[in-house]
Amino acid sequence: MSGRVGVIGVGHGRFGRRSDATVQELAFEAFRAALQDAGIDRKELDASVIAAVPEYHKQRSVAGAVQEYLNLNPLPTWLTEVACASGSAAMRTGWMAIQSGLHKVVAVIGCQKMTELATADILALMGRVGEVQWESVFGTTFPGYYALFATRHMHDFGTTRDNLLQVAVKNHHYGAKNPNALFQKEITIEKARDSEPVATPFCVYDCCANADGAACVILASEDRAKALSKKTVWLDGVGCATASMSVLKRPNLTGLQSATDAAQQAYRMAEVTAKDVKVAEVHDCFTIAEIMAYEDLGFCEKGKGGRYIEEKKPYIGGGGVAVNVDGGLKSKGHPIGATGVSMAVEVVKQLRGECGPRQVPNADVGLTHNVGGIGQYCFVHVFKKN
């Protein structure tokens, strides 16, 4: 590899039911903020990579529409799509483009509108991220798939329903302090327990909400980063792995092998271990997913994820890795194409010390864990302050 790749600017729009904007307009909010944060002009960019899941938009080939609206023509661009991991796929692609030497400064934009479809249609579409020939025909849903994991995890390791909801309580606690989050209110575990059932053992509070939104990260080669920025954060570890589309073909339903594999690659490349990570953004599409992430990423032993959250380890100052202290998918909402980039924005700001009431002390190594679908794809990125 030809040198480090750095993040020189980050921008994030408000996630939520954005009936006020098109997907291009959402992308522009984040893009403008990122350029301002980087203190650079648009002319510095030589390419962009765009992450969005196209099926939710009437605009075909949405990358082209975004590129035009951001006034980036005639620069090269293309779409990366791997379901909910699209954002990190775009990050990895930008990183590879710079490592190859072909590009120097790349804008990575994750953007998504989901709420133009009716809820039952979104549920049907998201459910088809499983295997449609043998599974979707029985009305499997995205929460349903993760619920299969939760049922098994509770059986094998004694994880309780309360452990699941403790994840939601934590993430709402931090989301309440995040002005870009969809839900900016704390919740109690009592309220959560009583909410409507979705797919056993999940109720509404176990599930992230569909949302619209965008986030943007500006990547640069080592020499350009040093020239353009005084607060570069380095993307030193990139890991990625896939697993079968069908959950029926996985070796077990208590963890995501793709996450374990991707994390090992990223740790090795960045020359760190799980113990070095101070702050992490993990893919809590459902509460069980965060519990499995603690285990898959090596923050705790396999099977001990329920205990980890019960003991409040992933809170700031809790003694473990501070996880999802921007609210996570649960509180921010999950505009699928944007999430991976949103995670990177948070980790970068944490490593720069810019998070105010949500700042993790001494954050020098951070990690994003972005899962596509039900673990068919996983991207783990390790960021370093120095």
Just list the catalytic residues. 84, 334
| Structure-block tokens of residue 26 | 């959402």
Q: Which residues within the stretch 252-271 sit at the binding site for other proteins (CB under 8 A)? A: 253
Complex with other proteins: residue 143 or 255, whichever CB lies closer: 143
Mask of contacts with other proteins, 76-95, x by CB under 8 A?
A: --------------------
Stretch that binds other proteins, among 96-104, 147-155, 300-308, 373-381 (CB under 8 A): 147-155
Q: CA-based angle 287:288:293, to the nearest 5?
A: 105
Alpha-carbon distance 3 to 5, whole Å? 7
Q: Does 132 bind other proteins (CB under 8 A)?
A: yes
134 binds other proteins (CB under 8 A): yes
Taking CB under 8 A as the criterion, the residue among 101, 158, 197, 319 binding other proteins is 197
Estimate the crossing angle of helix 62-69 against helix 23-38, to 10 degrees: 50
Q: Which residues contact 105 (CB under 8 A, 6 or more apart)?
A: 8, 40, 44, 45, 46, 218, 219, 220, 221, 224, 228
Backbone angles phi, psi at 177, to 5 degrees: -100, 10
Nearer to other proteins, 75 or 124 (CB): 124
Q: Going residue by residue from 201 to 230, which x/- string records binding to other proteins, judged by CB under 8 A?
A: xx----------------------------
How far from the centroid of its chain's Cα atoms is residue 187's Cα? Answer: 22
Binding to other proteins (CB under 8 A) within 231-250 occurs at 247-249
Cβ(372)–Cβ(255) under 8 Å?
A: no
Indicate the residue among 102 and 132 with the shorter CB distance to other proteins. 132
Q: Is 137 in the site for other proteins (CB under 8 A)?
A: yes
Residue with smaller CB distance to other proteins, 102 or 248: 248
Give the residue with the Cβ less far from other proteins, 126 or 240. 126
Q: Give the residue, chosen from 94, 127, 213, 337, that forms a contact with other proteins under the rule CB under 8 A.
A: 127
Its sign, for the CA torsion 115, 78, 84, 310, is negative
The window from 38-46, 115-123, 186-194, 333-341 that contacts other proteins (CB under 8 A) reads 115-123
Would you list the DSSP string of 187-247?
--HHHHHTSPEEETTEEGGGBPPB-BEEEEEEEEEHHHHHHH-SS-EEEEEEEEEE--SSG
User: Which residue's CB is nearer to other proteins, number 153 or number 385?
Assistant: 153
Between the alpha carbon of residue 92 and those of residues 12, 38, 211, 229, the distances in Å are: 19, 20, 24, 21
Q: How far is the CB of 280 from other proteins (least distance, A)?
A: 27
Report how many residues bind other proteins under the rule CB under 8 A.
36
- 128 contacts other proteins (rule: CB under 8 A): yes
Let me know: does 143 contact 287? Beta carbons within 8 Å.
no
User: Residue 94 CB: number of other CB atoms within 10 A?
Assistant: 27
The least distance separating other proteins from the CB of residue 91, rounded to whole angstroms, comes to 30
Select the residue interacting with other proteins from 71, 200, 273, 362 (CB under 8 A). 200
Give yes or no for a contact between 116 and 54, defined as CB atoms under 8 angstroms apart.
no
Applying CB under 8 A, the residues found at the interface with other proteins are 120-121, 123-124, 127-128, 132-141, 143-144, 147-152, 155, 196-202, 247-249, 253
